[in-house]
Structure 1
Amino acid sequence: MKQDLKLISMSDVQAEEVKWLWYPYIPLGKVTIIQGDPGEGKTTFVLAMIALLTRGEPLPERDTAAEPMSAIYQTAEDGLADTIRPRLDSFGADCSRVLVIDESRKELTLSDERLEAAVRETGARLIVLDPLQAYLGSDVDMHRANEIRPIFKRLCAMAERTGCAVILIGHMNKMQGQKASYRGLGSIDFRAAARSVLVVGRLKDEPHIRVVAHDKSSLAPEGASIAFELDPDTGFQWKGCCDTTVEQLLSGSGTVQTKTMLMEDALRELLTQPTPAEEVQKRASELDISQRTLMIAKKNLGVISEKQGERWYWRMPGQGCKDVTV
């Protein structure tokens, strides 16, 4: 019997440039895993990101943005009406661009043909499945590589055909002192198939601050860690880049200091009374703070701009003047 052999010469393969939803964290047409312990803010981080994408606003640490885009978000843990929609509203998302595949008659899996059909019908550039473990299928053992590999192969092929970014949100196991690569639930083949892996966690000394650290990047250099805040009083706020490593994040050690946080501290110190805008700009320049970071810090603190005579002044909320926004 003649062997059915077909060889491909690399000289016939057309090289392609990787396209990105968010460089260097989330590639288009590929699978990204976002993992962390329960309650660390993985879902909140993703929903805040989706809100920016649906509004056509720049993602953290990016100066430019794509046109507003649609995203498909599937969750097996949170209610759409009482949890997901209120969170999206709080982030200012365009909810008409956030779609959900109806699972009332049939539960969705990673191998489901409805994933690709939904992407093609909606033009979505992002699919999120939260959590990964819930979408494997009831007859799949997540610890068996021979069962995981074909599922991920089909999922990766779907992502490549459609050019859609796929995010899988996963929990981590409770094994302390282990590297991140061994703390993901299930087979190590999950991590092997993903082109990018992000870890979300918090540090012991700063419980309201969360950090997203790049743990694997197959298509670009690893990106800087990104901090955000989940505060009971002020809610969600982006805090900018920091030096926290994955190892520090998993052990809870270290501290977080970003340029956004540095500028926030400077504004608190400077704006004890209404202050001319040029003095604020001068202080930002002294700290080597970009205009974008300055405006994020201003937004986070609720700083108000108002014109008095021919000059613009910045002040903290509650200082008793009429609110005038630039």
Structure 2
Amino acid sequence: MNRANEVRNILAQLGRIAEKYCCAIILVGHLNKAQGNKSTYRGLGSIDFQACARSVLVVGRVKDKPEIRVVAHQKSSLAPEGKPIAFELSAENGFRWLGHYDISIDDLLSGISREKKSEQAENLITDCLSNGKYPQQILLKKAQNAGISKRVLDEAKKSLGVKSIKKGSGWYWELPEEKEASNF
């Protein structure tokens, strides 16, 4: 399993079988416990298993919600990557699809949940805007440095009702007046 030259030979044989019988081959693998590595390098065995695959899905638990798992596309060579989808496994409900879940594979595997990122984004916005208008470019840079994606930041902006205001050649963000008043 760990020797690339031997794995390639076996995978080539599987490829010929798939072609002959017009079928897909599904391999199920497990990840090692090495935190901090990119998900691509966390699979047990040779990297060739993932390298030759046309589609690789990763399933992981959401850290603070052990009954919720997320299926996320790690690789998709033949079609656009799908969005992560969550499902619940619980004694009360059994199996239940929950729909799209905003999380990256690396965040999923490192134990960062979307809700934590959303809260982090909302806190960043309210902190920066607590004294009034704040330059959008600086806020975007701060979010990037904190590991908050632009999409999560935009969702937090929308949920807080933040307004974009053009002043001169730059854009500024501003909290709605009732949010500003509640901070004091």
State the TM bucket, normalised to the shorter chain: 0.5 to 0.7
Q: Is the contact between residue 205 and residue 255 of structure 1 (CA under 8 Å) also seen in structure 2?
A: no
CA deviation string 1:190-246 (max 9, x = no partner) = 111111100000111211110000000111111111111001211111111222210
- The reply on whether 1:249 has 2:108 as its aligned counterpart is yes
Q: Is the contact between residue 199 and residue 215 of structure 1 (CA under 8 Å) also seen in structure 2?
A: yes
Q: 1:156-235 to 2 correspondence within 5 Å?
A: 156-235=15-94
CA deviation string 1:245-293 (max 9, x = no partner) = 101111111236xxxxxxxxxxxxxxxxxxxxxxxxxxxxxxxxxxxxx
Aligned-partner Cα distance in 2 for 1:157–1:242:
36
CA deviation string 1:83-113 (max 9, x = no partner) = xxxxxxxxxxxxxxxxxxxxxxxxxxxxxxx
Q: 1:11-30 to 2 correspondence within 5 Å?
A: none
CA deviation string 1:158-214 (max 9, x = no partner) = 112222122111111111110111100011111111111000001112111100000
Greater CA drift, 234-243 or 205-214: 234-243
Task: Look up the SS of the partner of 1:165 in the other structure.
Answer: coil
The sequence identity of aligned pairs, in percent, is: 62
| Structure 2 letter corresponding to 1:200 | V
Task: Look up the SS of the partner of 2:81 in the other structure.
Answer: coil
Aligned-partner Cα distance in 2 for 1:197–1:246:
11
Which residue of the other structure, out of 139, 143, 153, is the alignment partner of 2:12?
153
What TM-score do you get using the length of structure 2 for normalisation? 0.60
Greater percentage in helix: 2
Aligned-partner Cα distance in 2 for 1:253–1:217:
23
Q: What is the CA RMSD across the aligned residues, in angstroms?
A: 1.2
Task: Give the number of the structure with larger relative contact order, counting CA–CA contacts within 8 Å between residues 6 or more apart.
Answer: 1
| Structure 2 letter corresponding to 1:177 | G
What TM-score do you get using the length of structure 1 for normalisation? 0.34
| Structure 2 letter corresponding to 1:231 | S
